[in-house]
Amino acid sequence: MRRLFLLSTALLAGSASAVPATPPAAAPATLPVVDGVRAVAVVNGAPISLEEVERQLATLHMQSEAAEAAAPASQDPSALLDRMITAKLISQEARAAGFEDDPEFRKATDEIRRSITRDMLIARQTADLKPDPAVVERYTRDYTREYTIGSVFFQSEKDAKDFEARIKAGGEFFKTAKAVRDAGKGTGPDGPQKHKESEMLPSVVKLLGILKPGQTGPVMQSPKEWAVVHLVAVNYPPDPDARAQATAKALELKREATIEKYSAALRAKYATIDQKLLDSLDYTKKGAVAELAKDTRPLATIKGDAPITVAELSQGMQRRYFHGVEKAASDPTKRINDEKKPVLEDSINRRVIVLEGKTAKIEETKEFKERLARAEDQVLFEMYVKRAILPEVKIPEAEVKAYYDKHQKDYTTPEMVQLDALGFANRADAQDAFAKLQKGADWNWLKTNAKGLLSAREAAEHKVSGSLVVMGSLPPGLQKAVKGARTGDYRFYEESATGPFHVLVVRDLRPSQVQKLEAVRKPISETVYAEQLAKTLEKTSAALRKSSEVKVYATGDALKRLIMNDLKGPS
């Protein structure tokens, strides 16, 4: 249902201009106070507060940042207010239709009450938390740790072992490394290099963690080569972003520990577990899952509430296992029994939160009432859309076909190409191999025997993808080299005047083409459906507005100024 709400409100965003809100007579210097809030609009007597508009704007902004996308509505408070008016009208219509008496509504709002109560109780416990300075420092060092290292890479294990032996015999790492590079037995950077820990392979980080500056590690093997690494120094350069990240991490850890401690205290305050009975429950026995699902023995007594039974625990166990509790029960390791305690604690937590909320009189607070009212409006909106609007939405075949015809360019596959390549350090060797291929030489033979081939490490750095890729994603020079080729053709390509130089073979070539309607029917149908839903929402909104009293006190620049004033400070 949450997905339905987001879809509906997104569609309302696209259609807001179609049903304009009632314009204000004039933008007031101050907003009227209705039911204790500064109202920017009143819908059939119910206010929409400036604070709620600001909250919605902030939510949209955070969502757009998370999606790394622009949120037009977050820049247009008037359009957002118009959608909020429509949502308010629809939720009011749902109330008038008796949706509040529906079991679906009661079930949803019961869970919402529990959730709000939990959030507010936890907020009280965590409001003044501060991160542990020692933890912040530890994470800051982890995030900024930088290694200065030397490294040599070998194609032969024997050459790597010989190099290792020379270092163990007292050879200076960088002088010895230069000697093996000069002899053509090894490759790697000339001199020490700095690398952030986050940029290095876990296996290398693990090795460096046990080395001291000045020490050289043993030979390490990768799928294509061998390497020897020498640690020069470990540094922790200042990084404000890393410290901020470490502070946030330390605070989250403190928060998690506080919540767990608070939950344990509430369980101890209200619940008593029959530990002997819990220990005796064995979900791995044949037929135990079905049998225990009917077991009404009290497993945990709750002060002020009904006990939690074995059957209730079993229901929780069934929810815990996505692929079925019976399958988990057949696991010979019997790990399913390890889940009994956390599942039971979850059940207790849900009960005691409500009890503690009553003790703390959470539901009597203004914050709780406002949050519950907003949530109820949302549930009613979703129910009305699902029951009264969605059944009216149709997907005419003619519109699907018309959309396809109009947007064919959006359903055109790009030109694709699959290449294989041999890389060379100099032009002459590459041209020699290219000439041999044109005369009929075998590709696989050249791959092993051609003169001047790049080393495995160099080839990896300059690799031409062997997968099927979009032609337009290739470097311009490579696209030019392949242009006009057919499958099986050979081409010559140089990355720059100084190389590397590549001999290419076109393994596969697929031209751009328009996909058939049946291949793209599903996404087009979804788009057409969304358009039809938007039109239906517009029609419903227009009808509700005609029969309702809607007063708007600020839109356009006046609304923006009110919001900006709030951002600057209390009004």
Cis before residue 500, ω within 30 degrees of 0?
Answer: yes
Provide, rounded to the nearest whole percent, the portion of the chain with pLDDT above 90. 75
Residue 26's pLDDT band (cuts 50, 70, 90): very low
All domains in the chain, ordered by first residue: 146-235 (3.10.50.40), 259-364 (no CATH), 415-511 (3.10.50.40)
Tell me what pLDDT residue 58 has. 86
Q: Contact 209/145 with Cβ under 8 angstroms?
A: no
Q: Contact 30/89 with Cβ under 8 angstroms?
A: no
Tell me what pLDDT residue 448 has. 86
* pLDDT tens for each residue of 411-464: 999 999 999 999 998 999 999 999 999 999 999 999 888 999 988 777 777 888
Tell me what pLDDT residue 66 has. 62
Q: Collapse the DSSP code of 191 into the 3-class scheme (helix H, G, I; strand E, B; otherwise coil) and give the result.
A: coil
Alpha helix (H) residue ranges in 397-468: 397-406, 427-438, 443-449, 456-461
Radius of gyration of the chain (CA): 34
* pLDDT tens for each residue of 513-531: 999 999 999 999 999 999 9
Going by C-beta distance under 8 Å and a sequence separation of 6 or more, which residues neighbour residue 357?
117, 118, 120, 121, 363
* pLDDT tens for each residue of 265-290: 999 999 999 999 999 999 888 888 88
Measured CA to CA, the distance from residue 564 to residue 571 in angstroms comes to 10
What is the rounded average pLDDT for all residues in the chain?
89
Measured CA to CA, the distance from residue 498 to residue 158 in angstroms comes to 32
For 385-390, which contacts have Cβ atoms below 8 Å and span 24 or more sequence positions? 385/4, 385/5, 385/8, 385/90, 385/537, 386/1, 386/4, 388/97, 388/540, 389/533, 389/536, 389/537, 389/540, 390/533
Strand partners, 490: 505
Q: Contact 64/13 with Cβ under 8 angstroms?
A: no
Provide, rounded to the nearest whole percent, the portion of the chain with pLDDT above 70. 90
Tell me what pLDDT residue 462 has. 80
CA 381 to each of CA 52, 80, 88, 91, 257: distance values in angstroms, whole numbers, following the listed order: 17, 16, 8, 5, 37
- Strands 501-510 and 490-494, bridge-based pairing: antiparallel
Measured CA to CA, the distance from residue 349 to residue 331 in angstroms comes to 28
Residue 37 has pLDDT above 70, yes or no: yes
Burial class (CB in 10 A: 0-12, 13-18, 19+), 462: middle
Q: Across residues 141-156, what is the average pLDDT?
A: 95
Tell me what pLDDT residue 323 has. 59
Residue 108 has pLDDT above 80, yes or no: yes
Q: Across residues 22-35, what is the average pLDDT?
A: 68
Element (H, E) at 63: helix 50-66
Q: Contact 529/11 with Cβ under 8 angstroms?
A: no
DSSP 217: P
CB-facing half-sphere around the CA of 428: CA atoms within 13 A: 1
Q: Contact 517/527 with Cβ under 8 angstroms?
A: no
* pLDDT tens for each residue of 311-349: 999 999 888 876 566 666 666 666 888 899 999 999 999
Measured CA to CA, the distance from residue 334 to residue 205 in angstroms comes to 36
